[in-house]
Amino acid sequence: MVSKASEDGRSGPSRRSVLAGASAFAGFAVVAPKRAAASGSDRVEALLAQMTLEEKAGQLSCFADMIRPPIADMNPLVNLRNAQTLLAEIHAGRIGVLMNGVGTAGALEAQKAAVEGSRLKIPLLFAADIVHGFRTVFPIPLAESGSFDPRLAERTAHGAASEASASGLHWTFAPMVDVARDQRWGRVAEGAGEDVYLGEVMAAARVRGFQGKDLKAEDSMLATPKHFAAYGAVTAGLDYNSVEISEATLREVHLPPFQAAFAAGALTTMSAFNDINGVPATANKRLLTDILRGEWGFKGVVISDYTADQELVAHGYAHDDRDAARLAILAGVDISMQSGLYLRYLPELTAAGAVPMAVVDASVRRVLALKEAIGLFDNPYRSINAKVEAMRTATPTLRQLSREAGGRSIVLLRNEGAILPLPTAGKRLALIGPFAEDRDNVLGAWGGFFADRSLNVDLASGVRSALADPGALIVERGCEVETTLAGGFERAVAAAQAADIVLLAIGESQDMTGEAKSRTDIRIPAVQQRLAEAIAATGKPVVVLLRHGRAIALEGVVRDARAILATWFLGSEMGNAVADVLFGTVNPSARLPVSFPQESGQEPFFYNGRTTGRPAPLDPNSQEYKSRWRSIRNEALYPFGFGLGYASFALSDLKLSDARLGWNDTLRITAKLTNTGQTHGEHVVQLYIHDRVASRTRPVRELKGFQRVSLAPGASHDVRFELRRENLMFIGGDDRWLAEPGMFDVWVANSSIDGLVGQFELLAG
């Protein structure tokens, strides 16, 4: 019996619909001018007509909200404005957006200053990085993407928006939609991983979740797909590093998730820190104006990343700050974040004719239109209600959602002898490792900023509350994350000896992942690996509970443990979510959104690389001159799309509706999925293609669809996918999307390396 077959049965936001996404700016229909295309609504035009150059520059300036900062000494080096100076500037109409401040009390004070104190009474927009939760924290986006469940991502984004908007916020700098193919980059944690298609699906889901159906609703937040663009392609995974990329890879890999987010209704984006082939994204007119607005018809607002305009000087692209402001606005950056350069230089640049007034006006129009789109002029105190704030913060419903999302994000990588799920009684358990009883490393990348840390559930509490006899759990730290602990190993080994099963909680700490946290080596820190060896030497069965914000290069006894659960950073309810899976209340069903390499040195490493002239030989011991490493197999240790559960599944009976696909037709692909296990379970069935011969070499495989199917033991379900020409397109020699007739392989698979394979031919039109 099929209890649920969901998500995206049709494969892919088609290229055509994505390219046509420009027309999908429903939100901006609110401000869509009845008159000339370049003007705003009557209200916007009336305001613009009255604004001084200074007031215009003010609307294009965003500063850290020191009136209600979440932490007292936020970025002291660049936060030159304190609460008093900010309030004075708001009065003077010199600020349009405040960011990363929280709480309705401060919001009221700041908004009053704008609406009652400033000459033109233009309300402020309140923005913040609400990336994976606010007070209640959900799994890091990478983990949640492993759920392959866009509906879940939509629900958590909505939950985050509901909680954060109740604290006086209108706008989130999320989702992060950068495709990340190098696991050394710390910001892998914030996105959807290495795949374009999964990235598109998750980007759109998160935008829908944050924004909801009505931008004027008080629990809706404007979404910002970021960082535009190709930030995930920084050389060597080093944060803020330069990006050298072909036009084809830019357009095929890095831009589509943005297009999907815009098609889902996102009205803003953020220019990235990095350069692209020598032109910084924040001064990149081709990217921010020609592609974004010209090709895609984007009508919304571009905000710079944090001081990214000023960084044009350090890039060696601008002579000085004044030049940097000029380059950024001329390229298409509407709002300057935190540097203050627009406020300082735009009036003078415009007066001197170095920046046309029309350019400034166009940006101001867009910012005012954004404020209008969320109803801010009519309801400037929206989202500022202390009662609502209390009611919507850290609710049991949000905590429950966090727990559910956590369970659905855990990937079971290995389960030798079906050691999992564990019984809740009759076994003595030792929970060992620096993350065993640790509440400081459960939230992940953005969790530490706004979270209510009193909500954090650590592993020990989660496991204890699941056990019939909480006394059956012994907890030992063993070592710190990167250093030893006096007597730690000895106590941990003794605990293991006294137990039947060891739960080993090891991996990365929270501040080893996220922004500016690139690693050269993606292994578990050496001291923890040594701890694992000491524990394994006891001969007790070990279940690894891996803590991480990226793919990890597993080795030695950790790699060979009886069971391995990829548990990422799961948010406020981490301990409970892990216990749910450990003891089988939740049957794990997530799949890897990133490939786990054999060794760190394989990075950048992803499943969908292009074919080469010398593919690796099947025999790993072959000495042929092929594209292979000397010492290891090419294949991932655990590939993209892989994950086990407590049930088992078999795919059979692959059928294609035809061996040929007409130029304007649809090919239907079906396969039978059977639950061959003893328990109810969910499986993620994946559709991949490979273009056999093309005018540019193509990836060995590309994900084009997936479906999550829930089946009772013994039950079967026919999984159906569709492919059309649009799903087979790529960027050709002239840097445009095209489809080429010819033969394609198609797989219906359990992961990116297996599956039932068929072939079809795309016929010429």
Enumerate the H helices of 92-140 as residue ranges: 104-115
Shortest distance (Å) from residue 240 CB to ligand BGC: 9
Query: Which residues are CB-neighbours of 298 under 8 A, at least 6 positions away?
Result: 22, 25, 262, 269, 292
Question: How many other β-carbons are positioned within 10 Å of the β-carbon of residue 738?
Answer: 16
CA distances from 182 to 199, 232, 461, 514, 610 (A): 15, 8, 34, 13, 16
Q: Does 691 bind ligand BGC (CB under 6 A)?
A: no
Contact 164, 212 (CB under 8 A): no
* Residue number with CB closer to ligand BGC (304 or 608): 304
Of residues 67 and 687, the one with the C-beta less far from ligand BGC: 67
Closest separation in Å from C-beta 140 to ligand BGC: 14
Residue (100 or 165) nearer to ligand BGC, CB: 100
Give the pairing type, strands 649-656 and 268-271: unpaired
Q: Which is nearer to ligand BGC, 450 or 605 (CB)?
A: 450
What track of x and - describes contact with ligand BGC for positions 224 through 253 (by CB under 6 A)?
A: --x---------------------------
Q: Which residues of 229-253 are buried (b: 16+ CB within 10 A; e: fewer)?
A: bbbbbbeebbbbbbbebeeebbbbb
User: Strands (DSSP E) along 182-295, which ranges?
Assistant: 226-228, 268-271, 275-276, 279-280
Task: For residue 305, indicate whether it is catalytic.
Answer: yes
SS3 assignment, position 314: helix
Q: How far is the CB of 74 from ligand BGC (least distance, A)?
A: 9
Name the residue with tokens 């084809």.
248
Single out the catalytic residue among 305, 361, 438, 458: 305
Q: Which two three-digit tokens encode residue 717?
A: 């379900």
Total residues in contact with ligand BGC, by rule CB under 6 A? 7
Contact 435, 459 (CB under 8 A): yes
Which amino acid is it at 110? A
Are 699 and 758 in contact by the 8 Å Cβ rule? The answer is no
Q: Tokens at residue 367, please?
A: 């910012």
What is the rounded CA–CA span in Å between residue 184 and residue 546? 17
Q: How far apart are alpha carbons 528 and 536 in whole angstroms?
A: 12
Nearer to ligand BGC, 129 or 372 (CB): 129
Measured CA distances, 68 to 77, 86, 121, 246 (Å)? 18, 11, 21, 43
* Cβ 37 vs Cβ 736: under 8 Å: no
- The Cα–Cα gap between 14 and 677 comes to 35
Q: Give the nearest distance from C-beta 97 to ligand BGC in angstroms.
A: 11
Taking CB atoms, the residue at the shortest distance from ligand BGC is 173
Handedness of CA 559, 562, 567, 572 (dihedral sign): negative
Residue 129 lies near ligand BGC (rule: CB under 6 A): yes
169 or 711: CB nearest ligand BGC: 169
Q: Residue 173, interface with ligand BGC (CB under 6 A)?
A: yes
In the complex, the smallest distance separating the C-beta of residue 326 from ligand BGC, rounded to whole angstroms, is 22
Binding mask 132-171 for ligand BGC (x = CB under 6 A): ----------------------------------------
Q: Compute the least distance from the CB of residue 228 to ligand BGC, in Å.
A: 11
Least Cβ distance, residue 305 to ligand BGC (angstroms): 5
Site for ligand BGC in 35-54 (CB under 6 A): none
Among 305, 372, 508, 702, which residue sits at the site for ligand BGC (rule: CB under 6 A)?
305
Q: Which listed residue (138, 306, 638, 642) binds ligand BGC by CB under 6 A?
A: 306
Structure tokens at 621: 């011991």
CB of 129 to ligand BGC, least distance (A): 5
Q: Nearest distance from residue 339's CB to ligand BGC, in Å?
A: 12
Interaction residues for ligand BGC, span 86-105 (CB under 6 A): 100
Give dist(CA 377, CA 371) in Å, integer. Answer: 7
Radius of gyration of the chain (CA): 26
> H/E element holding 63?
strand 61-64
For ligand BGC, give the closer residue by CB, 66 or 748: 66
Least distance from ligand BGC to the Cβ atom of residue 177, Å: 11
Contact string (CB under 6 A) for ligand BGC, positions 542-561, x = contact:
--------------------
Kindly tell me which of 231 and 706 has the beta carbon lying closer to ligand BGC: 231
Give CA separation, 223 vs 213, 303, 341, in Å: 13, 12, 24
Contact characters 464-483, ligand BGC, x per CB under 6 A: --------------------
Name the residue nearer to ligand BGC (CB basis): 51 or 179. 179
Return the residues of window 496-535 that contact ligand BGC according to CB under 6 A.
515
Compare residues 171 and 596 and give the one whose CB is closer to ligand BGC. 171
Q: Where does this chain bind ligand BGC (CB under 6 A)? A: 100, 129, 173, 226, 305-306, 515
List, by residue number, the catalytic residues: 305
